[in-house]
């Protein structure tokens, strides 16, 4: 357990900007910071970080919260582990009881996989440096390849002994369970047969953005055609290969600083580039580039240079990756190395300064690269030339930015001597086809949905959601604000605050919500709101219940939420604080009016049922209630300006 005093220290130290900018490139916008949301794909930034309020909020996907919530969401951690993460980051000591075997069993399974992977990384590194086999085979290989010791240490490279299940036995001796060894893919078990997945291989640990080991790549040093040269960890709860870029943890700050990312294919290519002094480099780990990987890069820069081998496979990989990168709105350059070279081998033939100079002088804009490459195959064949034009236009058409797209059309027109209008016509055809495809897909998905039935329960629908949310927003933002002064006697007045007024006004109306999160907040306002020094914003944005924290963040981050009825009366020029004396009572009246109209509607249904049963006494009783409610609705409607409310 982490004591409350330590939790307070963590919340105080974990400045939201310091936490978020480890994962997202932020740019200052007034008093806030703006960036691309790390939780969903977006081309226009809608992710806001407010240092004053200590919260983040994405207006695209809706996620929001404080520093702890951000780490929980981004790193998929439970609340206590997110606190531990931030405590480590900000050097806050946590005194906890020693973890027992039972505590470890109860730990979240995902965190258990992380712990096993961390142990494995340390084990492989220790074997590389301290074991005879590790030094003679693994360390010897790295040094023959010219990998410096500082690079070996930086990337935590290792070696797994070629002794069947040496690692598995070592892990079990340390108390790590076979269940998690298997789920991480470190151990393979078949009936009574057990062996290490990476036995006899040099090890490349794969880190997530926070620097934790989540998987491994292993390279065999044997010349055996029946053995795969590279072997990677299988998919698991902590590792999805298509969503990870090797080296991004070590490269993210340099990518941000230089506003550029080099994309290579393999583990060793990343090491070689770092050794040459180029640290803003990541690898797709030998797999086809994925949209998820491109989005990871986009969080740190919009500029990518694809750096692949100069052979046929490298050219094919470059062409395949270009359209994917363009479609995500990034600016793409391509550099093919001399035939027969990859970044690793080429970097060892020249000095670091020569490599940097070579890249600067030879990286090419994608359209020039693609045009030059494809022109080799067209010769004087008009049909092939037409295919070339279509191929390049296809790449241009996926660029989301209209202005950039038009610039590329102009350049393509010049390079290929094709009229710009023809290129625009081709792009319009492609866009129209894309729209039709998307429309047809939407129609198919809509038709595939089951029709609503009479058994659909309306109980989950909160009829007062908008009104309750508006009141909660006023409470959390202005709880302790002075609303107005009330005269007690001719010589004495009493200051009425927002929180007091709201609960006084709604006490008789039974302010109870069908939304359990809303209700929990209402209950906690009633319980803690009257305590001296109660800071409701801090209390709810740092709440251990992530749903309450999310709601509080949303309410604080949103602009003033006007109802449709208020918008019809024109826009306010004053600040919210200046019109609280009007805004708070109006919000209460809107809530009461909605309740009255819902009750009125329910009574009408009861009257219909009573008429069917010929229950005259019930009908008279309900008519009296209905007439009273009609009068309440009339008074409230007149107070609110006779505005119609849609049921």
Q: Above 70 in pLDDT, residue 473?
A: yes
CB 279 within 8 A of CB 258: no
CB 561 within 8 A of CB 470: yes
Separation of alpha carbons 293 and 289, rounded Å: 7
Query: What is the chain's length?
Result: 647
What does the pLDDT read at residue 132?
95
Q: Above 80 in pLDDT, residue 627?
A: no
The CATH fold assigned to 4-89 is DNA Primase; Chain A (3.90.580)
Using pLDDT thresholds of 50, 70 and 90, give the confidence band for residue 196. very high
Q: Burial-class residue 304 by CB neighbours within 10 Å (0-12, 13-18, 19+).
A: buried
- Residues facing residue 282 across a β-bridge: 263
pLDDT tens, 231-240?
A: 999 999 889 8
Give the distance from CA 151 to its chain's centroid: 30
Element spanning 372, H or E:
helix 366-378
What does the pLDDT read at residue 207?
94
- The pLDDT of 370-390, averaged and rounded, is 74
Separation of alpha carbons 331 and 271, rounded Å: 25
DSSP category for residue 246: B
CB 235 within 8 A of CB 265: no
- The pLDDT of 537-562, averaged and rounded, is 77
**pLDDT greater at residue 632 or residue 478:** 478
Give CA separation, 416 vs 319, 369, 389, 390, in Å. Answer: 18, 13, 8, 11
Q: Above 70 in pLDDT, residue 162?
A: yes
CB 160 within 8 A of CB 188: no
* Distance in Å from the first CA to the final CA of the chain: 49
What does the pLDDT read at residue 287?
65
Nearest to 255 by CA among 272, 274, 242: 274
**pLDDT greater at residue 274 or residue 78:** 274
pLDDT tens, 56-71?
A: 998 888 888 899 999 9
Nearest to 542 by CA among 1, 38, 12: 12
- The pLDDT of 34-49, averaged and rounded, is 87
Q: Burial-class residue 470 by CB neighbours within 10 Å (0-12, 13-18, 19+).
A: buried
Cα angle value 271/349/352 (rounded, 5°): 60
CB 580 within 8 A of CB 617: no
Long-range contacts of 82-87 (CB under 8 A, 24+ apart): 83/2, 83/7, 83/10, 84/2, 85/210, 86/10, 86/13, 86/14, 86/19, 87/6, 87/10
What does the pLDDT read at residue 560?
41
**pLDDT greater at residue 181 or residue 368:** 181
pLDDT above 90 coverage of the chain, percent:
22
pLDDT tens, 344-357?
A: 888 888 888 888 88
Q: How confident is the prediction for the chain on average, in pLDDT?
A: 81
Report whether CATH 3.30.300.160 matches the domain 108-239.
no
pLDDT above 70 coverage of the chain, percent:
84
Lowest-pLDDT range, 48-52, 191-195, 283-287, 305-309? 283-287
Q: Above 70 in pLDDT, residue 317?
A: no
pLDDT tens, 8-38?
A: 788 878 889 889 988 888 888 877 889 999 8
Token pair in block for residue 357: 């100079």
- What CATH class is the domain 248-431? alpha beta
What does the pLDDT read at residue 174?
93
Separation of alpha carbons 630 and 326, rounded Å: 61
- The pLDDT of 185-189, averaged and rounded, is 94
pLDDT tens, 489-516?
A: 677 777 888 888 888 888 755 678 888 8
Separation of alpha carbons 380 and 331, rounded Å: 31
What does the pLDDT read at residue 110?
82
Using pLDDT thresholds of 50, 70 and 90, give the confidence band for residue 160. very high
What does the pLDDT read at residue 314?
60
Handedness of CA 357, 361, 367, 373 (dihedral sign): negative
CA atoms within 13 A on the CB side of 85: 24
Please name the residue that has the structure tokens 């600016």. Answer: 331
Q: Above 60 in pLDDT, residue 558?
A: no
Q: Above 80 in pLDDT, residue 626?
A: no
Task: Indicate the Cα dihedral angle 118, 124, 129, 135, nearest 10°.
Answer: -170
Q: Burial-class residue 433 by CB neighbours within 10 Å (0-12, 13-18, 19+).
A: exposed
**pLDDT greater at residue 123 or residue 635:** 123
Q: Above 70 in pLDDT, residue 435?
A: no
CB 291 within 8 A of CB 319: no
Q: Above 60 in pLDDT, residue 452?
A: no
Give the distance from CA 20 to its chain's centroid: 11
Separation of alpha carbons 22 and 253, rounded Å: 8
Separation of alpha carbons 54 and 15, rounded Å: 7
What does the pLDDT read at residue 404?
80
What does the pLDDT read at residue 218?
94
What does the pLDDT read at residue 74?
86
Separation of alpha carbons 137 and 178, rounded Å: 28
Q: Above 50 in pLDDT, residue 87?
A: yes
Task: Indicate the Cα dihedral angle 167, 171, 173, 178, nearest 10°.
Answer: -110
Burial 586-595 (b: 16+ CB within 10 A, else e): bbbbbbbbbb
What does the pLDDT read at residue 459?
43
> Which residue ranges make up each domain of the chain?
4-89, 108-239, 248-431, 462-639
Q: Above 80 in pLDDT, residue 612?
A: no
Q: Above 80 in pLDDT, residue 567?
A: no
């Amino acid at each position: 357990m982490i004591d409350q005093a330590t939790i307070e220290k963590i919340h105080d130290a974990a400045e939201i900007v310091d936490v978020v900018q480890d994962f997202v490139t932020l740019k200052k916008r007034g008093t806030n910071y703006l960036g691309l949301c790390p939780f969903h794909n977006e081309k226009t930034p809608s992710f806001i970080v407010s240092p004053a309020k200590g919260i983040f909020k994405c207006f695209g996907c809706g996620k929001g919260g404080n520093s702890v919530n951000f780490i929980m969401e981004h790193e998929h951690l439970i609340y206590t582990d997110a606190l531990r993460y931030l405590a480590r980051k900000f050097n806050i000591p946590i005194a906890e009881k020693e973890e027992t075997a039972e505590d470890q069993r109860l730990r979240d399974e995902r965190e258990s996989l992380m712990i096993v992977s961390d142990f494995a990384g340390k084990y492989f590194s220790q074997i590389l440096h301290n074991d005879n086999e590790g030094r003679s085979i693994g360390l010897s290989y790295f040094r023959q390849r010219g990998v410096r010791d500082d690079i070996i240490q930086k990337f935590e490279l290792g070696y797994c002994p070629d002794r069947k299940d040496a690692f598995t036995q070592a892990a079990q001796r340390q108390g790590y369970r076979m269940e998690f060894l298997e789920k991480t893919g470190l151990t393979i078990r078949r009936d009574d047969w057990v062996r290490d997945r990476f036995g006899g291989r040099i090890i490349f640990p794969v880190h997530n953005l926070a620097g934790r080991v989540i998987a491994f790549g292993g390279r065999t040093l044997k010349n055996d055609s029946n053995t795969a040269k590279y072997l990677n960890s299988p998919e698991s709860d902590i590792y999805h290969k298509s969503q990870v870029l090797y080296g991004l943890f070590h490269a993210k700050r340099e990518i941000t600083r230089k506003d550029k990312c080099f994309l290579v294919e393999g583990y060793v290519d990343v090491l070689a580039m770092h050794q040459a002094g180029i640290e803003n480099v990541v690898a797709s780990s030998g797999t086809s580039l994925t949209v998820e990987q491109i989005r990871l890069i986009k969080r740190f820069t919009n500029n990518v240079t694809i750096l692949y081998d100069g052979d046929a496979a490298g050219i094919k990989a470059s062409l395949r990756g270009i359209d994917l990168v363009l479609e995500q709105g990034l600016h793409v350059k391509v550099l093919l190395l001399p035939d027969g070279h990859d970044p690793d081998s080429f970097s060892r033939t020249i000095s670091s300064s020569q490599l940097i100079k070579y890249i600067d002088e030879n990286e090419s804009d994608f359209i020039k690269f693609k045009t030059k490459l494809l022109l080799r195959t067209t010769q004087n064949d008009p049909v092939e030339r037409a295919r070339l034009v279509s191929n390049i236009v296809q790449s241009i058409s996926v660029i989301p930015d209209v202005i950039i797209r038009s610039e590329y059309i102009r350049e393509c027109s010049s390079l290929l001597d094709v009229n710009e209008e023809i290129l625009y016509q081709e792009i319009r055809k492609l866009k129209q086809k894309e729209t039709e495809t998307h429309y047809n897909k939407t129609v198919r998905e809509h038709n595939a949905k089951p029709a609503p039935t009479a058994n659909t329960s309306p109980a989950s629908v909160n009829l007062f959601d908008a009104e309750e949310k508006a009141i909660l927003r006023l409470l959390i933002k202005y709880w302790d604000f002075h609303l107005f002064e009330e005269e007690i006697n001719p010589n004495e007045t009493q200051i009425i605050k927002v929180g007091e007024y709201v609960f006084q006004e709604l006490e008789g109306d039974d302010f109870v919500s069908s939304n359990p999160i809303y209700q929990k907040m209402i209950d906690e306002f009633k319980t803690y709101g009257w305590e001296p020094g109660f800071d409701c914003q801090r209390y709810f944005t740092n709440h251990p219940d992530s749903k309450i924290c999310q709601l509080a963040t949303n309410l604080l981050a949103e602009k003033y939420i006007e109802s449709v009825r208020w918008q019809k009366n024109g826009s306010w020029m004053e600040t919210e604080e200046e019109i609280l004396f009007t805004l708070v009572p109006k919000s209460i009246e809107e809530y009461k009016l909605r309740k009255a109209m819902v009750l009125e509607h329910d009574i009408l249904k009861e009257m219909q049922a009573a008429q069917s049963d010929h229950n005259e006494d019930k009908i008279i009783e309900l008519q009296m209630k209905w007439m009273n409610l009609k009068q309440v609705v009339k008074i409230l409607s007149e107070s609110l300006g006779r505005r119609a409310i849609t049921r």
